[in-house]
Amino acid sequence: MDLHLLDDRLASAAEPGFRARQVWEWAARGAGSYQEMTNLPAGLRERLAEEVPFSSLRLVHEALASDGTEKALFETHDGRPVEAVLMRYRDGRRSLCVSSQSGCPLTCTFCATGTMRFGRNLTASEILDQALHFRRKEAVNHAVFMGMGEPLMNLDAVLAACERLPDVGIAHSNTGVSTVGWIPGIERMAEEGPAVRLALSLHAADEALRSELMPVNDRYPLRDVLAACLRWHERRRRQVFVEYLMLEGVNDRYEQAVALAELLEPRRAFKVNLIPYNPTGSGYRGSGRDAIAAFRAALEERGVRATVRLTRGRDIAAACGQLAARREPRPAEDQHEPGRGDGGEALVEERHAVEDGKAWGHIAHE
């Protein structure tokens, strides 16, 4: 729900300050309506139902994959598309992938969201309503900001949402925020906000190739980005998770693995997650299993810890932006705010981004 609107309506009704907390606590526990909030006066419940929509997002479409992955496409009040995904695992984890923006102007060439017109930053309430949608279905315990948008270009809203996620059941240690390498945001995360995890979408160790795949590299070169990540690591005392999308014939050769290993110093600061490509119609093909295994072996021979993610939800177009990109753009949509969609790799195995530091076991696809 729109938490600012809630505060406004409660204030106009001269309700005591604790009412907003009561409403939020019910919502965070999975309540499906105001009528379930039995410690609120009946008259207030009716007024809130009339004046404060229970969600700031309208559900447009849902899809359920054969592996249990569930994807939702929403619209904001002004018609912006937003996607979120729930990934279910046999060990009991329920991991959310949420969006921080609608659309993206950063045009990563492998990304479905990058083909869309950019809409705007999402509010903290719109981010939280993605999580609450799935919380109303079942308990959730992990989250990653790897959906539509570049989270660090909307950092105020992202951090505000992160502050409330523990109420929903998602600890800060089980929350990961992914970035293409937006240095001002990395620097802020080192000093501000809850101690969530940081993941860097790297995808190429060579500056020229990375700029080809991710034009943002021209603005923030990789070596500067890694230096910022090391400052975050030193401040937060946590590893940086390096996301590396495996693209056949593009970035999956042995010498490219060697170059990546040479970049990631000191070794203790980084862990690499190799991502089988979830096709988005961009023209790229995913690397084969043997190529991925050889790439991983080359990294580990050089002391770089690496895992391979399980791909989730391919049969429901689960990579970020795939459903939204198919929608016809509305005439009123504009592109006046920054954003990013890091899409093809987003909606896959996420355990690496939310490790608690006590154990290093991963579900990896060998």
Give the span between the Cα atoms of 132 and 135, in whole angstroms: 5
* Domains of the chain from N-terminus onward: 1-54 (1.10.150), 59-354 (3.20.20.70)
Give the span between the Cα atoms of 113 and 214, in whole angstroms: 13
The CA-atom distances, in angstroms, between 26 and each of 7, 30, 168 are 15, 7, 10
Which pTM does this prediction carry?
A: 0.85
Q: How many CA atoms lie within 13 A of 39 on its CB side?
A: 11
Give the span between the Cα atoms of 344 and 151, in whole angstroms: 16
Is 243 noted as a catalytic residue in this protein? no
Pull the structure tokens for residue 285. 């093909």
Active-site position among 15, 70, 75, 83: 83
Pull the structure tokens for residue 312. 């989730």
pLDDT of residue 345: 34
Is 83 noted as a catalytic residue in this protein? yes
- Per residue, the 3-state secondary structure of 265-276, as one string, reads CCHHHEEEEEEE
pLDDT of residue 127: 98
The length of the chain in residues reads 366
Active-site position among 320, 349, 350, 355: 320
pLDDT of residue 256: 98
pLDDT of residue 324: 54
Consecutive sets of 10 residues in the chain, 366 residues long: mean pLDDT of each? 96 95 98 97 97 97 93 96 95 95 86 79 98 98 95 97 98 97 98 97 97 96 98 97 96 98 97 88 88 97 93 57 49 35 35 32 27
